[in-house]
Amino acid sequence: MVNGVTNPKYTEYVKNHWYELIDNYEPSILWSDIGSPPLFDLFELFAYYYNNFPDGVINDRWDKLFHEDGKVYKMRRTFFYDFTTPEYESYHVIKKKKWE
């Protein structure tokens, strides 16, 4: 599921929640399950997180809608993550990458 709310106020609201979580609770894992608003800068958030917690890890459920040339593209689990979180499936072989 992709969070497609494009309102700038909502994007700022979400951003503030993530930064509050990082600043106040110092998580060792930055874990998302439903994604982020299309206007939200995930790479800025990830950089902020890693700059504060170099040993921290991020999961792969940061679904994102991208707009380019008037088209909307969904990017799911294809950019940056430290471990995968398969759902409703099992691995039948040993995986080299980390997973939860």
Residue percentage of the chain with pLDDT more than 90? 38
Asked if residue 14 has pLDDT above 90, the reply is yes
Q: What is the mean pLDDT of the chain?
A: 84
Instruction: List the domain boundaries for the chain.
Output: 1-100
b/e string for 40-79 if b means 16 or more Cβ within 10 A? bebeebbebbbeeeeebbbbbbbbbbeeeeeeeeeeeeee
Residue percentage of the chain with pLDDT more than 70? 84
Q: Across residues 13-21, what is the average pLDDT?
A: 96
Q: What is the per-residue pLDDT for 75? A: 65
Tell me the per-residue pLDDT of 29-69, one tens digit each, with 9 for 90 and over. Answer: 999 987 788 788 888 999 999 999 999 999 988 877 666 77
Query: Hey, CA dihedral for 51, 66, 36, 74, is it positive or negative?
Result: negative
The amino acid that residue 62 corresponds to is W
The residue among 50 and 95 whose pLDDT is bigger is: 50
